[in-house]
Amino acid sequence: MNYHPRSRIPMFLHRIAGALAVLCLLFLAPTRGHAADAKMVSLAQGTAITGPPDLSYAGTFNIDIGPPFDGPLTEAYCVDLNHHITIGDIEPQVIPDYPCEVVYILNNYYPHAAPVLSPTSKEAAAVQAAIWFFTDGYVIGGPADIKARAQAIIADASASNCVPVPVVPHSMTLSPALATNILPADTSHDVTATLTGSDGLPLADYPITIVVTGVSGPQTFPGTTDAAGQMTISYSNGFGVPGSDTITASASFTVPVGLKFKVPDKQGIVLAGEPVTGTVQASAQKNWVPAACGDGYINQAGELCDDGNLVDGDGCDSNCTPTACGNGILTAGEQCDDGNGIDGDGCDSNCTPTSCGNGIVTAGEHCDDGNAVNGDGCDNNCTPTACGNGIVTDPEECDDGNVANGDGCDTNCTPSACGNGVVGPPEECDDGNVVDGDGCDANCMLPSCGNGVVDPPEQCDDGNVADGDGCDSNCTPTACGNGIVTAGEQCDDGNRNDADGCEADCTLPTCGNGIVDPLSGEQCDDGNTNDGDGCSSTCQRQEICNDLLDNDGDGLIDCLDPDCGTCPVIFKDPATIGLRTAPRVDWVKLRGGVAPLTPISPATEACGFLLDNADGVLFRQILPPGALRSAGALKHVYVDKAANKSGGLRRFQLKCKNDVCHVAVQAYGDLSNATLPTMATQFLIGDDVFLYKAAWTRTKQGWKLEFPRH
């Protein structure tokens, strides 16, 4: 017997305590129903040995085989050093799982043979160490005499022709464990006992006894199990007495040396001493119940349910039929119950007396909504709520029980009159009121323009359909925009909108009236019929050739537009474009010469610069008159120092001498669309525009262009 290394008890405490518990690690209550249980009672013969691990006790201890644990005691050894055991622990029998050498040692050494070592405690310790060698791989380190004796025992067991522990009864079951018979029809009962051996297999040809006690006993049935380990008996309750029986099956056997007792988390026990008697038992119960409504069983003719009581309204009533209207039992919510589901027999299928208002439509009723309220769809005479059923309900004003008009109460259940919504002679209409202008006038005549009554959407009604007298034939006041052409109007399209074919003043569209009328084919209308001002005498767009704008929308600006003829060419000086990465701004620089066609006055005339390609305008800025300031007798300059950050013309310089002007431009802006080589440059100076269109050369920085020499 050992102690776990972390819970060893000193030897002097062992000698004082005498029967202290042997400890391992975990505890688990024994499982009931095995063939036998072993209870650790006290230490027997043993002493301390060394390992590793060092153990404060190895040897036998006294056990009691039970239940009922009433002796006699016998000796045992233990296995499984990884766990502990305590005095008083009870462990159930399990199937032996150790080598047969252990069984050999238990049957051939102490306590089954006289000890070799003295005192006996040393012999018991050597036997225990030898057992642990085979079950736990334990190797004893000392004392020397106990070690030598253990090694001799191990050698002897290893050389022997050992045999395992013989099979004995291990567990018993009874089936069925619980059963009920209904008297007096069923007075017999069968029960089967099944016996399993310590090898886990059915135990055949083994004597068992089944005893019946209770209202059918006592009865005893001895017998032997069959090949399946079973024995079946039949017995009867001969007098049909209500009550219960207890059925007990048992099998006795001699507990052999080497039988193992174990729970998973405790040290195991193996019998080493004298064999003792063990018993395996199983029990079952049989109930005998007289047949009756309320016994909890459907066992009589007419029973549809049985909930074990005679309470009505709980789902199964006292006549053992389900709680329901028509089962003949009056329960909560029912006013009557005649035991059937027939309507009109005095108690209808909803268990209310046959009557109008009980929710069941019976002879003479057209409807029945379960109440006597009028106007809810089924009135208190059990006819559908409707005009003509003889009952005045909201919103009816009368109900004469028919659907005839003109008899004092019309088919909409209102008194016959103009305004009741029913058209009767001599009415042309009746919209249910005596209001004018709502589609049917107060005299029940149809409204119309010219009847002297202003009805929406009429704006006026002078009692006639004449135009131009202040209220026209469409009942709108005589005015431009009312859709009626009257004196002084050329047209009237019903609105005061321009450019829709009839102008806001009711005159026909004409070129030069300042209104662009696409319906007349006009592209523009500048209020005159002059050519050359951007809008021609036929109101078509024209290019103005000296404003750097695309006036006619053809994508061609000034000198590039064929409408402008040929412009003077920019010559002599180079131009460059710099494309830079944001946030820095792109730039363009040009220096060119021009020969004005007309006298120029830089200080009082507009100037501008345009750069574009086939994709559109790359840069354009027009300086208003006065933007250029004099910088000497011959030079005028415009400067914007912020342009290199915000964009725009940074510098525009004009220097003229002997009918030739030199232009210098520096501008900043987004020139990312400068991706095509062919670009056009135009200068605006007063009324003159100058052009140079050519292919630029790509540079590492952007583009460059050499103007032709003059």
Could you give the CA distance from residue 70 to residue 564 in angstroms, rounded to a whole number? Answer: 135
Judged against a pLDDT cut of 60, whether residue 6 lies above it is answered with no
The full 3-state SS of 51-95, as one line of letters, equals CCCCEEEEEEEEEEEECCCCCCEEEEEEECCCCCCCCCCEEEEEC
Does residue 478 lie in a domain region?
Answer: no
Range of the domain at 691: 563-706
- Find where tokens 């009952």 sit: 391
pLDDT of the residue at 396: 86
Does residue 142 lie in a domain region?
Answer: yes
Judged against a pLDDT cut of 50, whether residue 190 lies above it is answered with yes
Mean pLDDT of 626-650: 92
pLDDT in tens, 141-166: 999 999 999 999 999 999 999 998 88
Does residue 227 lie in a domain region?
Answer: no
Judged against a pLDDT cut of 90, whether residue 47 lies above it is answered with yes
> Which of 22-36, 291-305, 428-442, 457-471 has maximum average pLDDT?
457-471
33 compared with 397, residue with greater pLDDT = 397
Mean pLDDT of 55-82: 90
CATH code at position 656: 2.60.40
Mean pLDDT of 262-286: 87
Find the angle CA(517)-CA(523)-CA(526) to the nearest 5 degrees.
80
Does residue 108 lie in a domain region?
Answer: yes
pLDDT of the residue at 29: 29
Judged against a pLDDT cut of 50, whether residue 24 lies above it is answered with no
pLDDT of the residue at 21: 28
Mean pLDDT of 295-302: 79
Among the candidates 159, 179, 213, a domain finishes at 159
Across the chain, what does the average pLDDT equal?
86
Among the candidates 97, 131, 159, a domain finishes at 159
Does residue 241 lie in a domain region?
Answer: no
pLDDT of the residue at 403: 82
Mean pLDDT of 435-454: 84
pLDDT band at 567 (very low <50, low <70, confident <90, very high): confident
Judged against a pLDDT cut of 60, whether residue 20 lies above it is answered with no
Are 688 and 548 within 8 A, CB to CB?
no
pLDDT in tens, 480-517: 988 899 998 899 988 989 888 898 889 889 998 888 88
pLDDT band at 228 (very low <50, low <70, confident <90, very high): very high
Judged against a pLDDT cut of 90, whether residue 401 lies above it is answered with no
DSSP secondary structure string for all residues of 571-616: BSSEEEEE---TTSPEEEEEEEEE--SS---TTTS-EEEEEEETTE
pLDDT of the residue at 91: 93
| pTM above threshold 0.85 | no
pLDDT of the residue at 191: 97
The amino acid at 536: S
Does residue 128 lie in a domain region?
Answer: yes
Does residue 497 lie in a domain region?
Answer: no
Half-sphere exposure of 570 toward its Cβ, with a 13 Å CA cutoff? 30
pLDDT of the residue at 35: 62
pLDDT of the residue at 709: 65
Residue 471: both structure tokens together = 């209220």
Judged against a pLDDT cut of 50, whether residue 265 lies above it is answered with yes
pLDDT band at 283 (very low <50, low <70, confident <90, very high): very high
Query: Any idea which of 5-19, 73-87, 553-567, 614-628 has the lowest mean pLDDT?
Result: 5-19
Could you give the CA distance from residue 305 to residue 288 in angstroms, rounded to a whole number? Answer: 20
Mean pLDDT of 109-134: 95
Could you give the CA distance from residue 663 to residue 638 in angstroms, rounded to a whole number? Answer: 11
- Dihedral pair phi/psi, residue 574, rounded to 5°: -80, 170
pLDDT of the residue at 1: 45
Split into its structural domains, the chain has a count of 2
| Beta-strand relationship, 629-630 and 260-261 | unpaired
pLDDT of the residue at 438: 84
pLDDT of the residue at 31: 31
Could you give the CA distance from residue 520 to residue 200 in angstroms, rounded to a whole number? Answer: 112
pLDDT in tens, 516-534: 888 888 888 888 988 878 8
Judged against a pLDDT cut of 90, whether residue 274 lies above it is answered with no
Are 500 and 519 within 8 A, CB to CB?
yes
Among the candidates 159, 183, 203, a domain finishes at 159
pLDDT of the residue at 8: 33
**% of the chain beyond a pLDDT of 70:** 94
pLDDT in tens, 349-377: 889 898 888 888 988 888 988 888 888 88
Q: Rounded to 10 degrees, what is the CA torsion of 653, 656, 659, 664?
A: -30
Judged against a pLDDT cut of 70, whether residue 192 lies above it is answered with yes
Does residue 660 lie in a domain region?
Answer: yes
Judged against a pLDDT cut of 90, whether residue 300 lies above it is answered with no
- Find where tokens 């399209």 sit: 493
pLDDT of the residue at 23: 26
Judged against a pLDDT cut of 90, whether residue 95 lies above it is answered with no
pLDDT of the residue at 3: 34
Q: Decide: helix, strand or coil at residue 562.
A: helix
DSSP secondary structure string for all residues of 94-149: E---S-HHHHHHHHHSTTSS--SSSSHHHHHHHHHHHHHHHHH-----B-HHHHHH
